[in-house]
Amino acid sequence: MIPDDLTKYLTTIPDWTEIPTVDGLIDQLEKLRAANGDLCRWRRYGTSRLGDPLRVLSIGHGERNVLILGGPHANEPYGALTVSHLARLVIEHAELRDDLTWHFLPWANPDAARMNEGWFAGPRSIRDYHQHLHRPAPVDDVDFTFPHFSENGYYDRPLPETQAVMRILEDLRPVFQYSLHNCDFGGVFYVLDHDVPGLAEDLLAFTGQTAVPLAMDSAAVAGLDSPGKGVYLLPPAELIDGGIAEAGATSGHWAAQYGTTTLVTEIPMWNDPCAADDADSGRTVGEVFGQAATEMAEASDLLADLMAAVRPALRCGSPLAASAESLVRLAPLLGQGMRAAAEAMDERPAAVGEAFVGAITPHMIRMRGLGQLRRLLRAELATGNQAPVLRATVRKADALFDQACQAAGMVSEGNPFPLREVVAVQVGAGLVALRRILKEAR
């Protein structure tokens, strides 16, 4: 039984200074397995597109299953630390295994996660993150490529990694699936595949005891139903327009057929006192997001022009090209969403946190696009493709990236949250959710 007081599980979290690499986390888990052979075993469920085995570490022998889904988005690796700590907790505390078997998929997309390892050791600044970033295009992203069969957005192209997760869910039919994510600024927020009575209140109470604030509403959750502050409900797969979003359903949608409750916990990378400030900014939402929409359009046009210039000269087929192309198509939609928010809430006073989101988001999109473009062009040049347009554009992209980082620095210093603090939130929220789900299942 999971106790009401989680202190003993959270105070033992190490004061990490870096995120483990793909191989580093797997090595940690293998050492745990080797030292605890009576409790732990590996099982392979598939193979990544580049040939990495996709294995699950199972701990315990209970009848009900819990699945921890690590790395569902390759540029969100903080969950690797959550996997590491949770696995140790489950081994060390028998009460966490009471009638439960825990299953850990360390990395859902190891190939793409490896492409982000350049920033795992720090300094975890905004610049460092974006110059080593790889965010796969939605069609190459595991947690955006689960099938769904509505006419609105029919999607039937699951990746090999996605198919492996589908096999895991079919085999385990877990009572709880915990999907580990991290976001940019602000605070923590949660997404559930369905409302669990009492859970929103539990999560709010727990988060209030941590060092990380609860996030204000953000663009990532705009329009979603909410059973409580900071907690949102995953929209039905039938509402996903695959033609626009270039994506299918999520693991939460797919797991629901097995009676599984899925929780997503988004923990922030960078701290800024403005991000969660609900005081009046002195501006209206229309002003804040209207200006942001204009700046987003400028950022989108810049990225589109740069890609149009280099596209005919690209040769190496890097996944960075698909990522950059996807952002060129999707960034305008983000700007349109901000424009719609500005028009819908034109005269409502904007909180300081909303003004902060409006100010920082265009810079983040610009850095994301330019960061991936710089990596793409350098990869091309490294193969010997020295086309003049590539050489000229990489110099231009370098200068623009520097300008974007400086502009973002004028909005926020982007001090990283201590890893220990945000991982404590993710670990604790998972235990809080599982405790409530088990109570409701009785």
Which of these, 179, 141, 109, 186, lies nearest to 426 by C-alpha position? 179
Tell me the one-letter amino acid at 32: L
Give residue 222's pLDDT band: very low, low, confident or very high (50, 70, 90): low
Distance CA 123, CA 131 (A): 12
Residue 225 confidence (pLDDT) above 80: yes
What is the share, in percent, of the chain residues with pLDDT greater than 70?
Answer: 97
106-121 in b/e form (b: 16+ CB < 10 A) is bbbbbbbbbbbbebbe
Backbone phi, psi, residue 360, to 5°: -85, -30
Is the pLDDT score of 244 beyond 60? no
pLDDT digits (tens, 9 = 90+) for 126-147: 999 999 999 999 999 999 999 9
Report pTM: 0.95
pLDDT at site 80:
98
- What is the C-alpha to C-alpha distance for residues 63 and 48, in angstroms, rounded to an integer? 29
**Does 245 score more than 60 pLDDT?**
no
DSSP-based helix, strand, coil % in the chain, nearest 5: 50, 15, 35
Among 185-189, 194-198, 287-291, name the one with the lowest average pLDDT.
185-189
Q: Per-residue pLDDT for 242 more than 80?
A: no
What is the spatial distance between Cα 413 and Cα 267, in angstroms, rounded to a whole number? 18
Per-residue confidence at 217, pLDDT binned at 50, 70, 90?
low
Residue 112 has pLDDT above 70, yes or no: yes
Examine the pLDDT at 430 and tell me if it is beyond 80.
yes
The candidate with the shortest Cα–Cα distance to 186, out of 409, 353, 410, 366, is 353
* Banded pLDDT at 169 (limits 50, 70, 90): very high
pLDDT digits (tens, 9 = 90+) for 290-340: 999 999 999 999 999 999 999 999 999 999 999 999 999 988 988 888 888
Report the pLDDT value the prediction gives residue 150, as an integer from 0 to 100.
Answer: 80
For residue 420, the cross-strand partners are none
Residue 218 pLDDT > 70, yes or no?
A: no
The two three-digit tokens of residue 220, written as one number: 């990532």
Residue with tokens 């300081």: 352
Q: Where are the beta strands (DSSP E) in 112-257?
A: 176-183, 189-192, 231-233
pLDDT greater than 80 at residue 86: yes
- According to CATH, what is the number of the domain 7-272+417-441? 3.40.630.10
The pLDDT value recorded for residue 358 is 92
The two structure tokens encoding residue 221? 């959750």
| Mean pLDDT, the chain, integer | 94
CA atoms within 13 A of residue 204's CA, in its CB half-sphere? 12
The mean pLDDT of 422-442, rounded to a whole number, is 94
Q: Can you spell out the DSSP letters for 65-98?
A: EEEEE--SSTT-TTHHHHHHHHHHHHHH-GGGGT
Q: What is the mean pLDDT of residues 280-284?
A: 95
- Give the mean pLDDT of 341-362: 90
Task: Please give the DSSP secondary-structure letter assigned to residue 142.
Answer: G
Please enumerate, as own/partner, the contacts of 386-390 that have beta carbons within 8 Å and a separation of 24 or more.
387/313, 389/309, 389/310, 389/312, 389/313, 390/310, 390/313
**What's the pLDDT at 426?**
98
Contact in structure between 131 and 99 (CB atoms under 8 Å): no
How many Å apart are CA 137 and CA 73, to the nearest integer?
10
Bridge partners of 280? Answer: 351
State the pLDDT confidence band at 1, using cuts at 50, 70 and 90: confident
Q: What pLDDT score does 442 carry?
A: 62
Tell me what the mean pLDDT of segment 423-438 comes to. Answer: 98
Residue 14 has pLDDT above 60, yes or no: yes
355 residue type, one letter:
A
pLDDT tens digits for range 388-406 = 999 999 999 999 999 999 9
pLDDT at 109 over 80: yes
Q: Find out whether 266 and 188 touch, Cβ atoms under 8 Å.
A: yes
Q: What residue ranges do the domains of the chain occupy?
A: 7-272+417-441, 280-412
Closest Cα to residue 91, out of 28, 27, 20, 40?
Answer: 40
Residue 174 confidence (pLDDT): 98
Task: Please determine, looking at this structure, whether the domain spanning 280-412 carries the CATH number 1.20.1730.
Answer: no
For residues 230-258, give the mean pLDDT.
83
The number of C-alpha atoms within 13 Å of 191 and in the hemisphere containing its C-beta is 22
CA distances from 114 to 51, 90, 224, 227, 390 (A): 13, 27, 32, 36, 25
